[in-house]
């Protein structure tokens, strides 16, 4: 490991390592000479959080399916399907993808004085290539980077283990450079070459150090990673697809019907799956609903249920349905959402988020902080 001692030397090394194509299109960066420090206890907590959120998303998928079968309240699916095209709803219910879940999720964490909370779970996250580059770059002078130099690369490789297509829409073009970076690095590793151009060396369990050989079948046309613009994509039988486009954008992607048809026939796999209900922001509100409490306890287990209660902020659905005169919205103690406009600035310290199916639902454009707005707004 190369030890870069001074902050100026570290910053120079970081700048030198930056890809000439960039990582996010048309974005500039404020650089730090040091990785963000976290305590060992927090690091261990994050390691466990991944599996808890996998179990949570599996339970979300199960709740939706039980709702459409009448084995859980019908209003669950009704909420989740609101505003979605009928053909997309029908596709998301196909038995061929019944158990499919996103292979990559990013919980957006907010650090607090008492620990952290989860702002939301993103299953079409940007930053995969960026994080991989950060890991590699900072590991050259810091031996304690979480995941090590290749943690993100190795993790993403398991999503499409024999190569595949990273399909990006024009709307998500900002993220194309980082995806091209990660595809290039994965192809280099597949060929037994490191990002520096040297052969990859691995430690065998019983044979000591050995050079990595090219995997069997590597010359087959399907054994590579590539980045493809969604508008030009033609599915290939047997290929895995990493979907980097939002489902509300489907009408703007020519030929998307061919991709969906190939997925329905089992000719290709797609992750994250074509399930708009899993990408809704309302899951945290459903998690806190009293009528669903026993479902969550059963599906998550008592330990995970309690742990997630600690980090999932209490949330509400903004349903305009009139309440009975004696009823109030839990914890806010108001009878009608319009009453929230009369809250003091302190009491308006709440976030309002639009549906994940809205074009405003990504890039923080659909998030409003009540405390920042005057009463009228």
158 shares its domain with 256: yes
Same domain, 271 and 324: no
Q: Are residues 178 and 44 in the same domain?
A: yes
Neighbours of 246 (CB within 10 A): 20
- End position of a domain, from candidates 279, 305, 330: 279
Q: Which of 279, 309, 335 is the last residue of a domain?
A: 279
The mean pLDDT of the chain is: 88
| Residue 240 counted as domain residue | yes
Phi and psi based region of residue 328 (left: phi greater than 0; alpha: psi -120 to 50; beta: remaining): beta
Secondary structure (3-state) at 241: strand
Q: Does 342 reside within a domain? A: yes
Answer yes or no: are the C-beta atoms of 176 and 23 closer than 8 Å. Answer: no
In 3-state terms, what secondary structure has residue 160? coil
| Contact by Cβ (8 Å): 129, 181 | yes
Of the candidates 274, 273, 266, 276, the residue with the CA atom closest to the CA atom of residue 239: 266
242 shares its domain with 325: no
Per-residue pLDDT at 27: 84
307 belongs to a structural domain: no
DSSP assignment of 254-296, as one string?
TTHHHHHHHHHTTSSEEES-S-GGGG-TTHHHHHH-GGGHHHH
Asked if 264 and 363 sit in the same domain, the reply is: no
Residue 109 forms part of a structural domain: yes
pLDDT digits (tens, 9 = 90+) for 122-180: 999 999 999 999 999 999 999 999 999 999 999 999 998 888 999 999 888 899 999 99
Q: What's the predicted TM-score (pTM) here?
A: 0.88
Mean pLDDT of 232-248: 92
- Residues 112 and 170 occupy one common structural domain: yes
Q: Which range marks the domain in which residue 358 is found?
A: 318-377
- Asked if 127 and 270 sit in the same domain, the reply is yes
Other CB atoms within a 10 A radius of the CB of residue 85 amount to: 15
**What pLDDT was estimated at residue 108?**
93
CB burial of 268-289 (b: ≥16 within 10 Å; e: otherwise) equals bbbbbbbbbbbbbbbbbbbbbb
User: Which residue, among 168, 70, 82, has the nearest Cα to 126 in the 3D structure?
Assistant: 168
Give pLDDT tens digits for 165-223: 999 998 888 999 999 999 999 998 877 655 444 444 333 333 232 333 344 444 444 56
Chain centroid to CA 92: how far? 18
Q: Which of 126, 42, 131, 60 is nearest to 311 (CA)?
A: 42
- Strands of the sheet with 225-229, listed across from one edge: 225-229, 164-168, 240-244, 269-271
DSSP class of residue 351?
E
Q: Is residue 257 a contact partner of residue 274, using CB atoms and an 8 Å limit? A: no
Residues 234 and 374 in one domain: no
Residues 62 and 130 in one domain: yes
Q: Is residue 341 domain-resident?
A: yes
Please choose, from the candidates 222, 229, 257, the residue with its C-alpha nearest in 3D space to the C-alpha of residue 245.
229
154/157 Cα distance (integer angstroms): 5
Q: Are residues 170 and 71 in the same domain?
A: yes
Cis peptide before 92 (omega within 30 of 0): no
Helix, strand, coil proportions of the chain in percent (round to 5)?
A: 40, 15, 45
pLDDT of 230-239, one tens digit each? 988 999 999 9
Say whether pLDDT at 91 is over 50.
Answer: yes
What is the percentage of the chain residues whose pLDDT exceeds 90? 69
Q: Which residues, 6 or more positions from 195, have their beta carbon under 8 angstroms from its beta carbon?
A: 136, 185, 188
- Summarised one tens digit per residue, pLDDT across range 70-84 is 999 999 999 999 999
Rg of the chain on CA atoms, in Å? 23
Report yes or no on 17 lying in a domain.
no
Task: Please tell me whether residues 236 and 375 are part of one structural domain.
Answer: no
- 249 DSSP 8-state letter: G
Residue at 54 is within a domain: yes
Are the CB atoms for 298 and 372 separated by under 8 Å? no
Total structural domains within the chain: 2
CA distance 128 to 154: 11
Q: Give the residue carrying structure tokens 């995969």.
A: 128
Same domain, 64 and 138: yes
Instruction: Tell whether 370 is covered by a domain.
Output: yes
* Domain finish residue from 279, 304, 331: 279
């Amino acid at each position: 490991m190369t030890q870069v001692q001074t902050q100026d030397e570290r910053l120079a090394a970081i700048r030198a390592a930056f890809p000439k194509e960039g990582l996010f299109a048309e974005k500039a960066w404020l650089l730090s000479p040091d990785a963000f420090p976290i305590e060992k206890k927090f690091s261990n907590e994050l390691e466990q959080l991944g599996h808890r959120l996998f179990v949570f998303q599996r339970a979300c998928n199960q709740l939706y399916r039980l709702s459409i079968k009448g084995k859980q309240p019908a209003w669950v699916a009704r909420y989740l399907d609101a505003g979605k095209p009928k053909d997309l709803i029908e596709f998301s219910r196909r038995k061929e993808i019944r158990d499919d879940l996103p292979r990559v999720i990013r919980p957006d964490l907010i650090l607090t004085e008492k620990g952290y909370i989860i702002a939301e779970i993103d299953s079409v996250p940007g930053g995969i290539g960026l994080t991989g580059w950060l890991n590699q770059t900072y590991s050259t002078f810091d031996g304690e980077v979480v995941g090590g130099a290749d943690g993100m690369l190795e993790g993403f490789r398991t999503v499409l283990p024999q190569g595949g297509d990273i399909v990006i829409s024009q709307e998500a073009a900002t993220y194309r450079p980082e995806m091209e970076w990660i595809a290039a690095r994965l192809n280099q590793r597949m060929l037994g070459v490191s990002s520096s151009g040297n052969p990859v060396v691995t430690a065998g369990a019983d044979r000591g150090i050995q050079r990595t050989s090219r995997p069997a079948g590597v010359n087959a046309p399907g054994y590579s990673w590539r980045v493809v613009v969604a508008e030009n994509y033609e599915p290939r039988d047997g290929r895995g697809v990493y979907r980097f486009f939002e489902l509300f954008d489907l009408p703007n992607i020519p030929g998307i019907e061919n991709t969906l048809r190939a997925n329905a026939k089992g000719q290709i796999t797609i992750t994250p799956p074509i399930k708009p209900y899993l990408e809704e922001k309302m899951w945290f509100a459903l998690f806190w609903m009293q009528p669903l409490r026993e479902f969550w306890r059963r599906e998550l287990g008592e330990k995970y249920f309690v742990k997630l209660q600690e980090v999932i902020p209490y949330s509400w659905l903004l349903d305009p349905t009139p309440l009975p005169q004696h009823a109030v919205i839990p914890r806010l103690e108001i009878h009608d959402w319009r009453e929230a406009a009369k809250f003091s600035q302190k009491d308006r310290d709440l976030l309002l988020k639009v549906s994940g199916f809205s074009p405003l639902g990504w890039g923080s454009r659909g998030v409003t902080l009540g405390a920042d707005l005057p009463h009228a707004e």
